[in-house]
Amino acid sequence: MSTTFGIPLYPVDEKILIDEEGCLQPYISHIFFHDVFFRGNNSRFLNPIAEHIDENTRVYPLNNSPQGIYTIKDCKEFLKNKK
């Protein structure tokens, strides 16, 4: 299942963004995020700067469940293990 991950454009309390399963609340718009990673058949960073962001930076699944990806570090690990 493919998923796009993003980081918020503005600082916000995480409690209002995600539900107990780690998915975006239905009232949160995707335009509030900058796309940074795509997980799917052609997994990749969507922005050349994204892979240089602090590894502990939280990423949010914008259109599916997180499937184990919660930080930039998880994105890097996913790509490393996929090769």
Tokens of 72: 């930039």
Q: How large is the average pLDDT for residues 52-80?
A: 94
Distances from the Cα of 25 to the Cα of 6, 22, 29, 47, angstroms: 14, 9, 9, 24
Assess whether pLDDT exceeds 80 at residue 83. Answer: no
pLDDT of the residue at 14: 83
The domain of 9 spans: 3-82
Q: Would you give the end-to-end CA distance of the chain in angstroms?
A: 18
pTM tops 0.85, yes or no: yes
Reply yes or no on whether the pLDDT at 1 is more than 80. no
Mean pLDDT of 29-33: 90
Separation between Cα atoms, residue 81 and residue 83, nearest integer Å: 6
Tell me the C-alpha distance between 63 and 52, whole Å: 23
Q: Which of 17-26, 53-62, 63-72 has the lowest mean pLDDT?
A: 17-26
The total number of structural domains in the chain stands at: 1
